[in-house]
Structure 1
Amino acid sequence: MKAILPVLALFLTISGSAQTLRKRTTLLMGSRFDISISARDSLTAEQCIDTVIAEISRIENLISDWKSDSQISEVNENAGIRPVKVDKEVFELTKRALHLSKISHGAFDVSFAAMDRIWKFDGSMTEMPGPEQIKRSVEKIGYKHIILDSLNGTIYLERKGMKIGFGALGEGYAADQCRAVMIKKGIPAGIVNGSGDMSTWGKQPDGKNWSVAITNPFHKDKFFALVPLPVNSAIVTSGSYEKFVIFNGTRYSHIINPVTGYPATGLCSVTVIGPSAEMANGFSTTIMVLGQEAGLKLLKNFPEFRCILFTDTGKFISSDNLSKKTIKSWQANRPK
């Protein structure tokens, strides 16, 4: 349901300040993670990167629905059978994902992992699946059948065949958790980027804010704007300009609506900026599915988050709390 696109480019500057910036790229949670740490010396920075990797691995072992021994896999294996007791951390993450499922009326659905993968976006699909096939593909999805018992700390999926999965939402959560761990350790600045789910804290060694360039999805060799991120913030982009199909003149995204089983249409990309990569991730996916009007209406209830949308026709739209003046200043500083 969620796709993170390589439309966010991180711009780093290194000066002769007292802080040293170290970077490392690795594969975690089935995705690429780029980790940048600013610390007093290289050894400290490298040790912190090791700590970040260990934290992401710890979270993956708890919530991955691909690892047979994870707590989420145990929940899925016992769908329609019995409730499963999980760690508080897993319970709370599921609770937040379930809340997002409810307020979006299923446009985001944490049980999307049970969806049949009938849509192909690798060039092999020559015709649309039939209506009945599409209907059957989402029969096992349904957040309303997820029962959370806060007293006993259990998760129960009422229907056999149901599954919950966090996908890229889990990457956003992991990025946020790593930021919290680093701040607690007194590390002044850094950024954890899980395939486009960026969680940042502090500033670069030269004192400037972390800056992220957003690519224009219709001109992938050009940047739309260079966004200076506030201290302790996150930015996430969801989109479909690299994976989509066109049937009868309609452009179908590879982000699927879990309610209808049909791909999202109308929007090409959504970039969300706010305090949490986990929530920004959830909102970017949700807005792609809901579309411009309903998506922006939902985000209005969360004023700490802002967004930029690109429609399928190439038009860009911003949320109400992101002024045209701000966007123009971002565009004025974009890389040439």
Structure 2
Amino acid sequence: MNTRISIVLLLLPLLGFAATGCQAQKYEASFSDLFDTYTTITGYTMSEDEFSDYAAVIYDTMLYYHQLFDIYHEYEGIVNLKTINDNAGGSPIVVSQDLFDFLQWAKEAYSITSGSVNVALGPVLRLWEDCRTKAESASIPDAASLSEALLHTHIDALILDPSTCTVCLSDPEASLDAGALAKGYAVEAAAKRARDAGFTSGVINAGGNVRCIGTPQVRHRNAFSIGIQNPDETAENPLFDTIQVSDLSIVTSGDYQRYFIVDGTRYHHILDPTTAMPADRFRSVTVIHADSKIADMLSTALFILPYEEGLSLANSYEAEVLWIFGDLTWEATEGYKAMSQTLTP
């Protein structure tokens, strides 16, 4: 299918002070056709045209990775994850260097996170996705089906050959799903390309994956204010915390972001690969790191892993983290607390 996706840029000067010819102004762009999420780009530039150019670089980069990671659609001239999944059990196929690099990263992420982030979890995720899209039938995958699906989620079935840039799935029942890593990887690539093009001040917010570039070009401000959503939808304040950051990524994984309800129980999209069931240790986990792809990996892993194990992993990457538990109590690293505007030890 040849798909043409257009972007509508909503360019709004939002300065709280009078603009002059030598002052940057604040503009915003938004789109909702990539990665199944709503994305906003905020930037401080000298003109609307300049911002529009940077926003187009970001959009085009994210569109490129959206198509590479798509497991549902084909695109003319592109070998993507759907191509690999459709070829499961077959001969190796040649992929682009960009897709090969991502799959190498995905295999590294599996090792780094003790298997809690598994790009080969596709068979299990498909069962849950089928139930989510048919939530009115009030069912979840049965234990036998999940157990059978788990048999086909071994990361070793993903075979990469760097000498030929080829990929194959040795198990004909295996399938890949980039969901736990895709947005962070794409956002980081988009931020790098925009920065290389000259973009020095702005924020990309792709549905819980936030990438701050530089600092806001606003008088008396040297950091961006980023709100951390309250996982309690009944709370009067929709924000659990606000942090001050510059040139960093902030990624949150939460049980409130994508879910369905069966018999009064919420089933969200972050699955524990050891049980094939939604992880239930936390309501949300927020990770702050310089690299969005690492923050994305860690936010998923730390949502699944026990607190102490997750803390050790976070420390190994010098990441700052906020864990919110089921009873809305919280733990945070010292570095996170230093960025917080509202939480007190």
TM interval, short-chain normalised: 0.7 to 0.9
CA–CA distance in structure 1, aligned partners of residues 137 and 294 of structure 2: 33
Q: Secondary structure at the match of 2:172?
A: coil
User: Aligned pair count?
Assistant: 316
Which of 283, 286, 290 aligns to 2:298? It is 283
Spell out, residue by residue over 1:98-151, the C-alpha distance to the aligned partner (whole angstroms, 9 max, x if none).
Answer: 111122222110112222424746864756654323212323212122111111
Asked if residue 263 in structure 1 is aligned to residue 281 in structure 2, the reply is: no
Residue of structure 1 equivalent to 2:104: 95
CA–CA distance in structure 1, aligned partners of residues 193 and 184 of structure 2: 14
Residue of structure 1 equivalent to 2:39: 33
Q: CA deviation at 1:273?
A: 0.7
Residue of structure 2 equivalent to 1:141: 153
Q: For residues 164-183 of structure 1, what are the structure 2 equivalents within 5 Å?
A: 164-167=176-179, 169-183=181-195
What letter is aligned with 2:176? I
Q: Percent of aligned pairs with the same residue?
A: 22
Q: CA deviation at 1:294?
A: 2.2
Q: Secondary structure at the match of 1:330?
A: coil
Q: CA deviation at 1:62?
A: 2.3
CA–CA distance in structure 2, aligned partners of residues 241 and 60 of structure 1: 23
CA–CA distance in structure 1, aligned partners of residues 269 and 194 of structure 2: 35
CA contact (8 A) 1:233 1:276 kept: yes
CA–CA distance in structure 1, aligned partners of residues 30 and 307 of structure 2: 34
Q: Secondary structure at the match of 2:274?
A: coil
Residue of structure 2 equivalent to 1:210: 224
CA contact (8 A) 1:239 1:269 kept: yes
CA contact (8 A) 1:29 1:171 kept: yes
Which of 237, 241, 244 aligns to 2:256? It is 241
CA contact (8 A) 1:252 1:265 kept: no
**Structure 1 residue ranges without an equivalent (≥5):** 1-11
Residue of structure 2 equivalent to 1:322: 335
Residue of structure 2 equivalent to 1:187: 199
Which of 95, 100, 103 aligns to 1:86? It is 95
Which of 105, 113, 132 aligns to 1:104? It is 113
Residue of structure 2 equivalent to 1:162: 174
CA contact (8 A) 1:14 1:205 kept: no
The 1:15–1:114 alpha-carbon spacing in structure 2 relative to 1, beyond 3 Å, is farther
Asked if residue 44 in structure 1 is aligned to residue 33 in structure 2, the reply is: no
Query: Considering only aligned residues, what root-mean-square deviation do their CA atoms show, in Å?
Result: 2.6
CA–CA distance in structure 2, aligned partners of residues 172 and 128 of structure 1: 29
CA contact (8 A) 1:169 1:282 kept: yes
Residue of structure 2 equivalent to 1:297: 312
Spell out, residue by residue over 1:225-278, the C-alpha distance to the aligned partner (whole angstroms, 9 max, x if none).
Answer: 211112x2110111113636588x997544211232122112110011111222
Higher RCO structure, 1 or 2 (CA under 8 Å, sep 6+): 1
CA contact (8 A) 2:117 2:180 kept: no
The 1:85–1:147 alpha-carbon spacing in structure 2 relative to 1, beyond 3 Å, is same
